[in-house]
A and B are shown apart, each in its own frame.
Chain A
Amino acid sequence: MIKSIDISTSALVAQRTRLNAISGNIANISSIKDENGDAKPYKARQVIFQTDDEMTTTGASGVKVSEVKTDEAEPLYRYQPNHPLAIKDGKWAGYVAYPNIDLTTQMVDAMESTRAYEANIGVMEITKSLGRETLSILA
Chain B
Amino acid sequence: MLGVLQNNTLTALEQTLSFAQKRHELLTGNVANLDTPGYRARDLDVGDFQNALAESLESARKPSPVDGARPVTRDDILRGPRSAMEQVVFHDGSDVSLEHQVTEISKNQHLHNLAITTMRSQFSLLRAAITERA
Contacts and interface: CB of A to CB of B under 8 A. Distances in A.
| A and B in contact, CB less than 8 Å | yes
A51 interface: yes
Interface residues of A, number: 38
A63 B21 contact: no
Interface string A18-52: 10000000000000000000000000000011110
A102 B80 CA distance: 45
Interface string A41-85: 000000011110001101111110000000000000000000000
A56 B21 CA distance: 13
B56 interface: no
A134 B39 CA distance: 31
Contacts of A49: 33, 35-37
A126 B98 contact: no
A54 B72 CA distance: 18
Contact of B109 (A3, A14, A129): A129
A13 to B, nearest CB: 10
- The interface size bin for chain B is 20 to 34
B25 A58 contact: yes
Interface in B14-37: 17, 21-22, 24-29, 31-37
Interface of A: 1, 3-4, 7-8, 10-11, 14-15, 18, 48-51, 55-56, 58-63, 112-113, 115-116, 119-120, 122-123, 126-127, 129-130, 133-134, 136-137
B74 interface: no
Nearest to B106: A126
Contacts of B29: 7, 55-56, 60-62
A137 B113 CA distance: 11
Given A60-B42, A133-B116, A119 B31 contact: yes
Given A120-B31, A122-B102, 14 more contacts: A1-B24, A4-B25, A49-B33, A49-B35, A50-B36, A55-B29, A58-B71, A59-B71, A61-B32, A113-B35, A119-B31, A130-B109, A133-B116, A137-B123
